[in-house]
Amino acid sequence: MPNQVSNPAVSNATDQLCINTLRTLAMDAVQKANSGHPGTPMALAPVGYTLWSRFLRYHPQHPDWPNRDRFVLSAGHASMLLYGLLHLAGVEEIDENGTKTGQPAVSLDDIKQFRQMESKTPGHPEYRFTTGVETTTGPLGQGCANSVGMAMAQHWLASRFNRDDLKLFDYNVYAICGDGDMMEGVSSEAASMAGHLKLSNLCWIYDNNTISIEGHTELAFSEDVMTRFKGYGWNTLHVTDANDTQALAKAFEQFTQTRDAPTLIMVDSVIGYGAPNKQNTAAAHGEALGDDEIKLAKKAYGWDENSSFSVPEAAAHHLRDTLLSSHGERYEQWQRQLQTLTEREPELAEQLRRMRAGEMPEDWEAELEAFDTDAKGLATRAAGGKVLNAFAKKIPWLLGGSADLSPSTKTNLTFDGAGSFSAADYGGRNLHFGIREHAMGAIANGLALCYIRPYTSTFLVFSDYMKPPIRLASIMELPVVFVFTHDSIGVGEDGPTHQPIEHLTQLRATPGLLTLRPGDANETTQAWKIALAQTDRPSCIVLSRQPMATLDRERFGSAEGVARGGYVLADSKDPEVILIATGSEVGLAVQAYEQLQQEGIAARVVSLPCWELFEEQDAEYREQVLPAAVTSRVAIEQAGPLGWDRYVGSTGAKVVMNSFGASAPIDKLQAKFGFTVDNVVKLAKQQIG
């Protein structure tokens, strides 16, 4: 571990000037905001600069070029490194419609607004806020795992769109990772998967600065990272001085020549490099250095000590000019190749256009069939599998899989040509994530960032293992579909560790996420349709293990009501009591309703599969479904009670789970926890008084 790094071994004075510009901008921005992380940008400026100036395929006028290399700053706290690079590269801003605004992605004024309200330079890089930010990072390990998804996407896109003479997709993915990224389990999962898939287009740069927040990494982290990654099947390289741009270039060169494995480049660096009193200490990590120390650091760089936010003339356009001259022709060639594809295979080119625009194929709903009324019915996971396959046949870029549970979650694509995605066939559409839920979620986000419509699946209880990427999909507004089956005590004998209780509430609490829990096969169709129609938010589709009756839609309300989040499923004239249910409890509500009817009690059943969509309806519709005057209400859901007061008020009854479940056959569990017609009828009568 280096205590001191040798003097810069940068071959070119302009390069050194650019590198020091990145460093001083980071120091100045953090100082002005009096908040932020200067140390890593100072350490890694030579790494970022070498990559961008000599290797990253990037056109600053076309930051949405589909075949650009992806640069992921997994160590998102070092955001000023990225903002500095976007600034020096002169990247041009593109709005969410893909239209140029005529503004730079990051101007010098934007850098002066670092960490201020609505600036383009928030504390951590945020996708959608700043052109050139490929993914939102900050929660450690997520960017690493996103990068695996991006690298997988390249292979799939190449398999689909490349031709012998057309190389539309051959981009590389670079991710900068810190010690934290290396310690987080999600990146371990993702690294194992990347090695398994031999993602030779993936390069992680590990910033080995030996400093973490509590002090030297020796406090908690002494493993041999290189050996670990060899175990994952990675190509591993070591650069012993982050300032040695020639050694860095050699390592990147070796990466580009590696054909059968991802590459890890471990770079020994000095956090806060150049700040004489704070470098190589935790103090350089997460706070402003202070004016005095900044002056000393600038002096060490040979910089004007009294300057602030200084971009020397020679550095102002150098990186942009370099990128334009290196990649301008390549970009034009790519456009010609796309034109060739469009002429030769217009339908395929149209697919690519739709993927880029986030549009569905025109006939994407063509294969859907209604499920017939069936008292015996089928599990919504089974219905979901059929529906998914019907959609997937029509949406060639709908890809997904499971964390080793597809025989249970029923998410396998079974039609001819679907295939499995593997190192031997990157064109497959069934993804085998292994038992790695957390990486699965983050990889799906990476796929979604590269035009693919991904879905994932596991048991609902294991949504706990992948909450961080679900949250990031919501923040990034990515239309990922997260399928969760085995959604209640209906799991039965596997017991409380496998029976979700709090998970529906958790998902519903997450901003910007749709949580859909369909009540029968036809509601499942609608749930998938809604999820796939989203362009700017993720969805969870929550499905049962156990069979559920397929309701008679001629007698009851149409399942298209799912689109409004909740709807009247079964009704009576002037209902005295409203039974509100979701998922597997909708059938129970209907049975109770029928019993009440027989006893001459006017009841209504409301199916409420998606609270978020229901809340988006106007007040009139909501009043129509849940009239305020009818205060006698019973909520029925095999999940925790939190949130139900909204729909049943302070006097309503709740047939819910107030504890963990138990290991027993489903019928025994339903009786024990009150999910019986008798209990619902009893409570409904009590409500009426």
Q: Is 285 annotated as a binding residue?
A: yes
479, 358 Cβ separation under 8 angstroms: yes
Three-state DSSP at 480 gives coil
Min dist. Cβ of residue 186 to a second copy (A): 5
For residue 140, which phi and psi values (nearest 5 degrees)? -65, 150
The answer to whether the Cα torsion of 587, 590, 595, 598 is positive or negative is: negative
Min dist. Cβ of residue 485 to a second copy (A): 13
Using alpha carbons, select from 488, 493, 430 the residue that is nearest to residue 459.
488
Min dist. Cβ of residue 218 to a second copy (A): 9
172, 182 Cβ separation under 8 angstroms: no
Q: Is 69 annotated as a binding residue?
A: no
Eight-state DSSP code of residue 127: T
Q: Is 494 annotated as a binding residue?
A: yes
Read off the tokens for 457: 């699946």
* Radius of gyration of the chain, Cα coordinates, nearest whole angstrom: 28
Min dist. Cβ of residue 439 to a second copy (A): 7
Cα separation, 316 vs 591, whole angstroms: 72
Eight-state DSSP code of residue 568: E
Min dist. Cβ of residue 142 to a second copy (A): 9
Read off the tokens for 328: 């301008």
Min dist. Cβ of residue 646 to a second copy (A): 4
Q: Which is nearer to a second copy, 331 or 465 (CB)?
A: 465
Does the annotation mark 437 as catalytic? Answer: yes
Q: Which is nearer to a second copy, 506 or 522 (CB)?
A: 506
Count CB-CB contacts under 10 A for residue 246: 13
Eight-state DSSP code of residue 651: T
SS3 content of the chain, % helix, strand, coil (to 5): 45, 15, 40
Which residue in the list 126, 134, 293, 437 is annotated as catalytic? 437
Q: Is 209 annotated as a binding residue?
A: yes
DSSP letter for each residue of 266-334: EEE--TTTT-TTTTTSGGGTSS---HHHHHHHHHHHT--TT--S---HHHHTHHHHHHHHHHHHHHHHH
End-to-end CA distance of the chain: 75
Q: Is 180 annotated as a binding residue?
A: yes
Q: Which is nearer to a second copy, 5 or 613 (CB)?
A: 613
Beta bridge partners of 568: 606
Q: Is 462 annotated as a binding residue?
A: yes
Question: Which amino acid would we find at residue 308?
Answer: S
Cα separation, 615 vs 566, whole angstroms: 9
Cα pseudo-dihedral 100, 104, 109, 115, rounded to 10: 80
Min dist. Cβ of residue 443 to a second copy (A): 12
Q: Which is nearer to a second copy, 228 or 394 (CB)?
A: 228
Question: Which amino acid would we find at residue 112?
Answer: K
Based on the number of CB atoms within 10 Å of its own CB, is 646 exposed (0-12), middle (13-18) or buried (19 or more)? exposed
Read off the tokens for 76: 């998102």
Q: Which is nearer to a second copy, 108 or 664 (CB)?
A: 664
Min dist. Cβ of residue 400 to a second copy (A): 13
Q: Is 318 annotated as a binding residue?
A: no
Q: Is 138 annotated as a binding residue?
A: yes
The answer to whether the Cα torsion of 607, 526, 359, 190 is positive or negative is: positive
Q: Which is nearer to a second copy, 361 or 434 (CB)?
A: 434
Cα separation, 600 vs 578, whole angstroms: 15
Q: How far apart, in Å, are the Cα atoms of 150 and each of 138, 500, 510?
A: 18, 31, 25
Cα separation, 163 vs 345, whole angstroms: 11
Eight-state DSSP code of residue 163: B
441, 141 Cβ separation under 8 angstroms: no
Min dist. Cβ of residue 96 to a second copy (A): 17
Read off the tokens for 225: 């990272």
Min dist. Cβ of residue 549 to a second copy (A): 23
Q: Which is nearer to a second copy, 166 or 282 (CB)?
A: 282
Q: Which is nearer to a second copy, 53 or 236 (CB)?
A: 236
Give 15's contacts (C-beta < 8 A, 6+ positions apart).
49, 53, 245
Q: Is 486 annotated as a binding residue?
A: yes
15, 49 Cβ separation under 8 angstroms: yes
Q: How far apart, in Å, are the Cα atoms of 141 and each of 147, 177, 444, 452, 666?
A: 10, 8, 14, 22, 38
Count CB-CB contacts under 10 A for residue 25: 28
Using alpha carbons, select from 157, 135, 145 the residue that is nearest to residue 440.
145
Q: Which is nearer to a second copy, 447 or 601 (CB)?
A: 447
What b/e readout covers 150-185, taking b as 16+ CB neighbours within 10 angstroms? bbbbbbbbbebbeeeebebbebbbbbbbbbbbbbbe
Using alpha carbons, select from 528, 522, 458, 516 the residue that is nearest to residue 486.
458
Residues annotated in a binding site for thiamine diphosphate: 77, 138-140, 180, 209, 285, 462
Residues annotated in a binding site: 37, 77, 138-140, 179-180, 209, 211, 285, 381, 408, 462, 486, 494, 498, 545
Residues annotated in a binding site for Mg(2+): 179, 209, 211
What residues are annotated to the active site?
A: 437
Residues annotated in a binding site for substrate: 37, 285, 381, 408, 486, 494, 498, 545
